[in-house]
């Protein structure tokens, strides 16, 4: 199996022993992204809408590094700090896709890194 590490300065550096993404054969597995500004390394979002946009920008940068876009995404997982945030996240997440949407699950969890409200991971195919 061919395996390539994908990292870009345009997305946050990993905060643990993992990579931003791994390209295995024709599949890209993107690690969960939170609303960290890659320039400052800080969470600067004021609300869940800004968090969602920052997360999606981080994911877009990783996809671009792998020469892909949101149209290549086949699966996402969304983690929320509270299911009451679902509608806001769902509305803003949806704005990044055109045409068909990927498969997805959304779950509420007890806590997320850096005390954020949303984390999203993706799988994309060339």
pLDDT 10s digits, 107-118: 999 999 999 999
Tell me the CATH number at 57: 3.30.1330.40
Judging by beta carbons within 10 Å of its beta carbon (0-12, 13-18, 19+), is residue 103 exposed, middle or buried?
exposed
Give pTM, 2 decimals.
0.96
Domain that holds residue 46: 3-125
Q: Lowest-pLDDT range, 11-15, 50-54, 121-125? A: 11-15
% of the chain exceeding 90 in pLDDT: 94
Residues whose CB falls within 8 Å of the CB of residue 11, separated by 6 or more in sequence, listed in order: 20, 33, 38, 58, 59, 61, 62, 65
Q: In the chain, how many domains are there? A: 1
> Over the stretch 79-102, which tens digit does the pLDDT of each residue have?
999 999 999 999 999 999 998 899
Q: What is the pLDDT of residue 15?
A: 86
| pLDDT of 14 higher than 90 | yes
């Amino acid at each position: 199996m061919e395996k390539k590490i994908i990292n870009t300065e345009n997305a946050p550096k990993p905060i643990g022993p993992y990579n931003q993404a791994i390209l295995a054969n024709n599949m890209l597995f993107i690690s969960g992204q939170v609303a960290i500004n890659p320039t400052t390394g800080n969470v600067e979002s004021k609300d869940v809408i800004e968090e969602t946009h920052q997360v999606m920008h981080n994911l877009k940068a990783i996809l671009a590094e792998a020469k892909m876009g949101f149209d290549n995404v086949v699966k996402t997982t969304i983690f929320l700090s509270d299911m009451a945030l679902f509608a806001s996240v769902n509305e803003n997440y949806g704005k990044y896709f055109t045409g068909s949407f990927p498969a997805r699950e959304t779950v509420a969890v007890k806590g997320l890194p850096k005390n954020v409200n949303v984390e999203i991971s993706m799988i994309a195919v060339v």
